[in-house]
Structure 1
Amino acid sequence: MTGKAQAAWDSLNPRQQAYLHVLFNHDQAAEEQRAADWASGRTLDDRTPASEWRWIDVVTPGSRLTSVQRALAQRDVRDPGVGSTLAALARAGLIEHEEVPRGRSRAVRAKMTRTGRAAVRASLKAAPGRRTGELADWSWEILVRLWREDGAEVRAGGPAVERALLDRKPPLAAQHTYPWYTITEAGREHYRQNWARYAQLYPHVAAPDPDPGEDPWPAAAQKVLDRLRQSVDAAVADRSAAFYRQTEAEDAAAKARTQGGPGGGEVSGEWERLIVEQAQQVQDLTATHARARAEMAARHYADAETRIGPAIGAYVHGALAAYEVSMENVLFDDAVAEAISQAAAGAGAEWVLPPRPAPCGLHDVDSALGEAWDTAAGVRVRRRPLPKQMTEPPPRRGRYRAMLRADPEPPPLETRLEQAWALARATAGQVNDGALRRSLHPPIRQNP
């Protein structure tokens, strides 16, 4: 099946692949939401079949863009031809599509087929879906939490938890006072026997190896990445706070200057003259303090700006080093954290953008990181700008409009820094908790 699925994917042109990939993301998001609702008990009485809730709106009447159109616009796929592209995917058996009445007009919607999902999974080199008897990703996450606590009680609510962990023979968990659970010996054995399979099936779940050896993604490595991100966040937050303090102090100083003296006419008598002089001194002192606060806030603003660039540079270099470690799979334990730290420290204050990351073979990751790096390097140029519905903020009315006018925003960061920061976030989002490493190098240990 994998060979046929890969062949089906390879037979598509880039536009058709983009459409199928976006539809697949929406299909999986709907499936995850359905599972979450079912686990929480919100849809216990909802028996709507998947053949109905899997339909995805592609184009709807009116000026509002659908989430599919927005995702395609981000991929620079917006030229005419929605109908012909969907028809080609339908002829290949990858989707179903139809037009349905919506008011006085009609909407276009599509639904992935099993063949279509298999084709995208082949392009992503993702593991096939779970087999009968295997835990869903959310129930596997709960079992991982129970394993980590090693006998301590864990809070995990929802009737689906009972069906997934308690209704088995033997049960994988024991319930104490609802909703507190502990792992059973059967649960520990299930974890040991099936850890390798689940690690391949759900690489985004950081599940510890039951037979620990060399740790491919130690906690220290994640702490280094988190510290690099926090350094950028702190510098940006300090810059914004200094800007607001400076604006407030400058407004106070300007108000004190325009108010003039406290006197309003002839002053007679020694007592009145003393009151006027004291009021003038207080006003002068207030203006002086406001100017001093504004100058201090300006220095804090400048200091935060000088810290943002090196912090972003260190984050970019560290995140891309983590990406390379995940691809090569030759460093383990403390060596992973050391490689990330050295790359971040080597960026320096006058950092330059690292070389373009080599493709890892996962379509989703290569597409996201390649696009982010090309944008940061200034080599990615859109054929057309994004639709105005995606770039213009929605109109605000009444008190919300007044609030927007009352709160000035700090100047935006340099484009170079914003784009490099976006690249660092995109890279870290793929490698965090070792998810990319588990996707590229799943455990080779097989179940008995």
Structure 2
Amino acid sequence: MAGKAQTAWDGLNERQRAYLHVLYDHDQAAEQQRAADWTSGRSMDDRTPAAEWRWIDVVTPGTKLTSVQRDLAKRDVRDPGVGSTLAALTRAGLIEHEEVPRGRSRAVRAKMTRTGRAAVRAAIKAAPGRRTGELADWSWEILVRLWEADGALVRAGGAAAERALLDRRPPLAVQHGYPYYVISEAGREHYRQGWARYQQLHPAVVAPDPDPGADPWPGTGQRALAGLRQAVDAAVADRRAAFERQLQAEADTAKAQQRPDSGREPSGEWERLVADQARQVLDLAAAHARARAEMAARHYAEAEARIGPAIGAYVHGALAAYTLSVDNTLFDGAVAEAIQRAAAAAGPEWTLPPRPVPCGLHDVDSDLGAAWDTAAGARTRRRPLPKQMTEPRRRMVGRGRYRTPVPADPEPPPLDTRLQRAWALARAVAGEVSDGVLRRSLHPPVRESR
């Protein structure tokens, strides 16, 4: 199957690969949601076969975009040719597609085949599938919680969890009144023996090493990366708050400069004295309002100036975390030190770090390469995103013909394009390396058989 799948993938063009990759992501998301529903017991009575729930809507009648169309637009794939692309993938045996009636029109939907899923897994170098007796990701996560509880009760409801833990000989847990479990000695041994394999099979599940040595992704490293992200978020929030204060101060200044007109000149000494006092009070109020407006403008400029260095530190720290994940040379506290050192070295007049080195995982290299090219200005979109993805949705009040839009709150000016693209790059890189997932995928731990 692997050779056939790899050959099928090699015969696809970039557009067809993008379609297949997006469909695979939706297929896996549906599979994970199905497993989660079974674990929680929400779908105990649902016997819908996979041949039905694996269908994915690609195009639906009307103007609303499907999630597939949105993901394709993010990959800059929007030109006409949906039918021909799906037909080519169907001929290659990678998907099935059909048109189904939807009202007065017809919708297009597709379903991945086993060969299609194997082709994407071969391209992204996904971990091999589970062997007989190995736990799924959700059941492995429950066993990790039981291991960390170290004999304490853990709540893990659902019939699927009960089957995964108890329907084994010997069982991995002992039930102490549904839905509470305690890990058994067999569960501890399964954890010790299978930890290295599960690190490769389910890298997204953070599981402590049963025989701890050098920690490839310590908590201090994760907190260092999160701290850089929080610094950017705080700077953006401060800028927004300063912008709102500036608008309020400008409105107060305009109001204070308005002078009431009585329509006649004051007559008599008393009225002239009262008018002079009123004018002095208004002048003083206008002067205070102008001072507040100047201070608010200064605070806004200072808040905006802090965003650039924060984004620079974040993108340098994230790419340093990516590099050490690929190199696999630093451990324990050295991970956090490397991230913090790279962030500090960026400086206020930072430049974009070098392009990330390929890690060998197709989806990671493709996504991060495109994000870096966009940040560097070497890649531009052929066409803008659909207006359904860019125009903010207006909040409406009322019912029927009485529905009216609610005025949106004023937004600060958009950030400089260079900062926006660098921030997007940093978020993309951090998402790949977070919790050491990328490092475990590239360098799975090895345990000698006992």
Whether TM exceeds 0.5 here: the answer is yes
Distance 1:336 1:36 in 2: 34
RMSD: 2.8
Gaps of 5+ in 2: none
2:345 aligned residue: 346
1:444 aligned residue: 446
Q: What percent of counterpart residues are identical?
A: 75
Compute the displacement of 1:304 (Å).
Answer: 1.5
Q: Is 201-210 or 391-400 further displaced after alignment?
A: 391-400
Distance 1:104 1:62 in 2: 11
2:328 aligned residue: 329
Please show how residues 169-248 of structure 1 align to structure 2 within 5 Å: 169-176=169-176, 179-248=179-248
CA-to-aligned-CA distance 1:78-132 (integer Å, 9 cap, x gap): 2222222212211221111111122222221111011110110011111122233
Distance 1:142 1:321 in 2: 32
Distance 1:292 1:175 in 2: 69
1:163 aligned residue: 163
Alpha carbons of 1:298 and 1:180: their partners in 2 closer, same or farther (altered >3 Å)? farther
Distance 1:275 1:430 in 2: 71
Please show how residues 49-64 of structure 1 align to structure 2 within 5 Å: 49-64=49-64
1:42 aligned residue: 42
CA-to-aligned-CA distance 1:242-286 (integer Å, 9 cap, x gap): 11112122222322332648999989999x999999987776665
Alpha carbons of 1:277 and 1:152: their partners in 2 closer, same or farther (altered >3 Å)? farther
Which letter maps to 2:324? Answer: V
Please tell me whether the aligned partners of residues 196 and 446 of structure 1 are also in contact (alpha carbons under 8 angstroms): no
Which letter maps to 1:349? Answer: P
1:404 aligned residue: 407
Compute the displacement of 1:233 (Å).
Answer: 0.8
Compute the displacement of 1:337 (Å).
Answer: 1.6
Please tell me whether the aligned partners of residues 172 and 183 of structure 1 are also in contact (alpha carbons under 8 angstroms): yes
Q: Is 415-424 or 393-402 further displaced after alignment?
A: 393-402
Distance 2:292 2:299 in 1: 10
Q: Secondary structure at the match of 2:58?
A: strand
1:428 aligned residue: 430
Please show how residues 58-207 of structure 1 align to structure 2 within 5 Å: 58-176=58-176, 179-207=179-207
- Please tell me whether residue 256 in structure 1 is matched to residue 256 in structure 2: yes
Q: Is 342-351 or 392-401 further displaced after alignment?
A: 392-401
Which letter maps to 1:322? Answer: A
Q: Is 107-116 or 391-400 further displaced after alignment?
A: 391-400
- Please tell me whether residue 313 in structure 1 is matched to residue 309 in structure 2: no
Please tell me whether the aligned partners of residues 95 and 113 of structure 1 are also in contact (alpha carbons under 8 angstroms): yes
Distance 1:348 1:41 in 2: 52
CA-to-aligned-CA distance 1:187-229 (integer Å, 9 cap, x gap): 2212111111111111111212111111111111111101111
Compute the displacement of 1:371 (Å).
Answer: 1.1
Q: Secondary structure at the match of 2:171?
A: coil
Compute the displacement of 1:396 (Å).
Answer: 4.4
1:381 aligned residue: 380
CA-to-aligned-CA distance 1:129-163 (integer Å, 9 cap, x gap): 22333222122222222222323344444443333
Q: Secondary structure at the match of 1:258?
A: coil
Please tell me whether the aligned partners of residues 395 and 406 of structure 2 are also in contact (alpha carbons under 8 angstroms): no
Alpha carbons of 1:259 and 1:333: their partners in 2 closer, same or farther (altered >3 Å)? same
Alpha carbons of 1:13 and 1:284: their partners in 2 closer, same or farther (altered >3 Å)? same
Alpha carbons of 1:288 and 1:40: their partners in 2 closer, same or farther (altered >3 Å)? farther
Alpha carbons of 1:208 and 1:336: their partners in 2 closer, same or farther (altered >3 Å)? same
Q: Secondary structure at the match of 1:133?
A: coil
Distance 2:27 2:367 in 1: 19
Distance 1:157 1:293 in 2: 58
Q: Is 293-302 or 348-357 further displaced after alignment?
A: 293-302
Please show how residues 12-23 of structure 1 align to structure 2 within 5 Å: 12-23=12-23
Distance 2:183 2:276 in 1: 77
Please tell me whether the aligned partners of residues 30 and 54 of structure 1 are also in contact (alpha carbons under 8 angstroms): yes
Distance 2:166 2:281 in 1: 73
Distance 1:199 1:60 in 2: 40
Distance 1:429 1:237 in 2: 21
Compute the displacement of 1:401 (Å).
Answer: 6.5
Alpha carbons of 1:382 and 1:185: their partners in 2 closer, same or farther (altered >3 Å)? same
Q: Is 236-245 or 389-398 further displaced after alignment?
A: 389-398
When normalised by structure 2's length, the TM-score is 0.90
Please tell me whether the aligned partners of residues 196 and 447 of structure 1 are also in contact (alpha carbons under 8 angstroms): no
Gaps of 5+ in 1: none
CA-to-aligned-CA distance 1:282-340 (integer Å, 9 cap, x gap): 76665555444433332322222121111111111110111111111122112222221
Distance 1:67 1:181 in 2: 38
Alpha carbons of 1:190 and 1:293: their partners in 2 closer, same or farther (altered >3 Å)? farther
Q: Is 119-128 or 92-101 further displaced after alignment?
A: 92-101
